[in-house]
Every structure is written in C-alpha cells, then in structure tokens.
Structure 1
C-alpha cells in the first residue's frame, strides 16, 4: 500500500483565482451554512449576497430568521456561490464554497453607507431595511474551495479571495 495520496485538487493558479473572484463579485444570492444551535448540525438558508472591494461580502438578515440564531451562537459560516442559472448539468458549472467569519455591522455611520449602497442594488429592500430587526452581516472569507467544473478543483486561501476594485464591483460608483 502506497502512502501517496491521490488528490483531485489542482495547484491554484491565476485563472482559478480570477474565476473565484468573478463568482464572488457577480453573486446576488448564496447558500449560507451555519451551525444549528439546537442540534449542533448544519443548517442552510438562501440569502441575498453582495461581494465587492468597496463593501466586502455582506448580506442583510433579520433577527427573526432561523439562521440568525446560528450566526449569534457561532460566527463560523460557509457560503456556497454558483452560477448555474438553472441551465444544463449543474455539476459542470463553477461553484465556490467560502469558509468565513460572520460579523454584525454595528457602527451607525457604516450601516448608513451600506444602506445606501444596498438600496441602490436591491431597491425592494426599502420595504424592510429600516426595521429594527434587520442588520448587515459582513462575511470575512478565510479560505475557499473552487470547483471550476468537472475535474477542476482548487483550494484557495484568504489572499486568493480578496476583491480588487473594478472586478464587477456593483457597489462602486
């Protein structure tokens, strides 16, 4: 028996980094994985997501949402971002899983700036954004796993996931 492990992970290159950053910058939704505080297992929800150099990766979450309990209990999260768009075989489309640390935005001035940016891109949020139970949550990516299509997997670290201004940055004007 050999000690050599066969791994599906390819060496991370600039093409993989660019694809991961493009997926992040183009994301409008993601699957958010948190630890269920009642059962200790995973809980996954669909969230609105925006990632940009100007704003970082963030979402707007109500305290009433079940996944908000998970975030309060344990800020370690996973985000799944993809661009399948419902066409073709989803296993052939790129997808990115981010391991991240969630942090509630508490600074009033920062929240006001994010509010204006968010409403520019999610105008229907005007209906609920000012409810007292809604808060911006920033996700700080720690690492990631990119599946760039069948047989193309890459491990990414924090620096690979840093967005530069202009990369599809919907929050810059």
Structure 2
C-alpha cells in the first residue's frame, strides 16, 4: 500500500506559496511548442504588478511568446535553490493562463514603473517595440516546501 505524499493544504503552505510568488523575479516558463506539441522551457523575468498579480515582460520575437500566442496554457516554476541540496529548498510549480497586456491597458504605466524598480536592467529593452507585458492568471499550483512537505493549491489558495 502506498501513502499519498500530498499533505492537506494549510495556512502555512498558503503563506509560503504566496511568498514565493511575491518574491520571485525569475522563473522557468513551460509552454507548448506549436510546431511539435512538446513542452519547451525558458527562463523569464517575473514580478508582481503595482496591485499584485504576476507578470512577465517578453519579446514578441521569442519562441515562448509565439507559443503563448497559439496556446495560452503554461507552467511556471518558482523558487531559488540555496546552498546545499537544491531539492531541500521550497519551490512552487504553477499552472497558468497567459494574457497579453494591451499597450492601451490603463495599468501599463504603473506596471512599467514597478517593473523597472524590480528589474532595473530592463531599462535597455522595456520600450522596444517587440516587448510587451503578459499577465499570468494563476489556475493551480503544486508546492514542495521541502522534504515531505508537498501540497496541491487552488487559485484561491494562491491569491
């Protein structure tokens, strides 16, 4: 008989997952390659908007941008490995839906300012015509809070 390794989600798990989202400045973004159907993974910058949420700034020339244009479903792995065993550190795998933010969105100016505060080196490319913001709609998550601390989280748990 096997034991389910997933623990019942509690407030501590919710808080850890939310902290991983709020503090993340990069992550591994998984998309579905429209030509092959296979997963493709890229490292992307991420961060919160001025009122929360989770965003990325991507180039329309990138493979992951084209993939999201075909299928907005994505995965995002957050969490920084510290010293020692990288599997001993908390990480969060999110299921997402990507929504490109139109240039006319009234939140864009505040988002741009927040982005530059968190990612100052983006100043050199943020206004290039092929770059745009994408808002991630968080659908669900899987939290590994360290050894024997696995949780499944809903969208409500994560927002």
Query: What TM-score, normalized by structure 1, do the two folds share?
Result: 0.87
Number of residue pairs aligned between Structure 1 and Structure 2: 158
In the alignment, which residue of structure 2 is the partner of 1:23? Answer: 20
Q: Which runs of 5+ in 1 are unaligned?
A: 163-173
In the alignment, which residue of structure 2 is the partner of 1:96? Answer: 92
In the alignment, which residue of structure 1 is the partner of 2:148? Answer: 151
Contact 1:101 1:139 in 2 (8 A): yes
Deviation string 1:49-92 (CA, Å, 9 cap, x unpaired) is 1136714100100001111111101001100001213x110111
Contact 1:55 1:114 in 2 (8 A): no
CA distance in 1, matches of 2:32, 2:14: 28
SS of residue in 2 equivalent to 1:131: coil
Contact 2:48 2:55 in 1 (8 A): yes
Match of 1:74 among 71, 76, 86: 71
Q: Higher mean Cα deviation, 152-161 or 44-53?
A: 44-53
In the alignment, which residue of structure 2 is the partner of 1:131? Answer: 128
CA distance in 2, matches of 1:29, 1:16: 21
Task: Give 1:46-57 correspondences, 5 Å limit.
Answer: 46-51=43-48, 54-57=51-54
RMSD: 1.4
CA distance in 2, matches of 1:99, 1:139: 9
CA distance in 1, matches of 2:7, 2:47: 28
In the alignment, which residue of structure 2 is the partner of 1:168? Answer: none
Query: What TM-score, normalized by structure 2, do the two folds share?
Result: 0.94
Contact 1:11 1:154 in 2 (8 A): yes
Q: Which runs of 5+ in 2 are unaligned?
A: none
